[in-house]
Amino acid sequence: MIGVFDSGVGGLTVLKALLRELPLESFVYLGDTARLPYGTKSPATVARYALQAAEALTGYDIKCLVVACNTASAVGLPAVSAHIAPVPVIGVIEPGAAAACAASRSGRIAVIATEGTVRGRAYEQAIRRGRPEADVQARAAPLFVALAEEGLAEGPIAEALAHHYLDPLFASSAPAPDTLVLGCTHFPMLVGAIRAAVGPEVCIVDSAETTARRVRETLTAAGLADGGAAGTLRLLATDAPERFARIGARFLERPISPEEVTLIDL
């Protein structure tokens, strides 16, 4: 069983990539819907929440934990790893940063994320570890989260908001970045509006895909990959299973019935 944790439904974009990459594995996904959003909370609070979620998932006999939430990955990864060792813990920041380093020709890389992820500069630091000369500009785009959850990821509001957040990075007089990292679980939902705002030349990096590949490599290297029958999926939420099912279905791109979602307390 692979544990996946996020502040809510957004991490289902990462789960979707994991299900594609690892169709024979079983997954347990926990969305901390009672305490969403993490992106506006202090690092200490997010780290504490992440530890509690990781602790809850160890009860499901997990062989690996994926922290699908960018904000929790940015501030909570070392504490979570230490807490549940030797279970490997994989966050979304390192794989996304590595993909951006590989994709960028000019070394000018833009990152959009939540307020908390931008404030903690985790992408910036991870990108500079791969490419010390990189020029990294990060910008918070908090309203994208609400827009994706409202089902307004396409259309005039999404397009206007994409220009609002991205024009200062891409349409100013300074040389534009050639790579954009979507540093938040919800942002892949808005990729159409984001693409329209930045133009066809910019490479858009989605951490979900690169994280799923990293998970497969980690499991294979540790001899933990499952080659058995098709896996199972358990969905857990800390509040409002009906809302999780309704909104989560759009993120997972498959129907979710409220009965599939188990309510838990952390």
Which residue ranges make up the site for ligand DGL (CB under 6 A)? Answer: 6-8, 10, 36-39, 69-71, 114, 117, 145, 184-186
CB of 1: closest distance to ligand DGL in angstroms? 22
Smaller CB distance to ligand DGL: residue 151 or 199? 151
Q: How far is the CB of 11 from ligand DGL (least distance, A)?
A: 6
Q: Which residue, 2 or 41, has its beta carbon nearer to ligand DGL?
A: 41
- Cβ closest to ligand DGL, residue 36 vs residue 77: 36
**Of 58, 35, 25, whose CA–CA distance to 237 is shortest?**
35
Q: What phi-psi label fits residue 107: left (phi over 0), alpha (psi between -120 and 50 degrees) or beta?
A: left
**Residue of 64, 69, 101, 203 with catalytic role:** 69
Closest distance between ligand DGL and the C-beta of residue 44, in Å? 16
What is the closest distance, in whole angstroms, from the C-beta atom of residue 25 to ligand DGL in the complex? 22
* C-alpha span between 140 and 37 (Å, rounded): 14
Contacts 24+ apart (CB under 8 A), 200-203: 202/170, 202/176, 202/177, 202/178, 203/103, 203/104, 203/178, 203/179
184 included as an active-site residue: yes
| Closer residue to ligand DGL in complex, CB, 37/95 | 37
Other Cβ atoms less than 10 A from the Cβ of 176: the count is 17
**CA dist 108 to 65, 96, 125, 195, Å?**
32, 15, 14, 17
CA–CA separation, 150 vs 155, rounded Å?
12
Active site residue 64: no
Residues that are catalytic: 69, 184
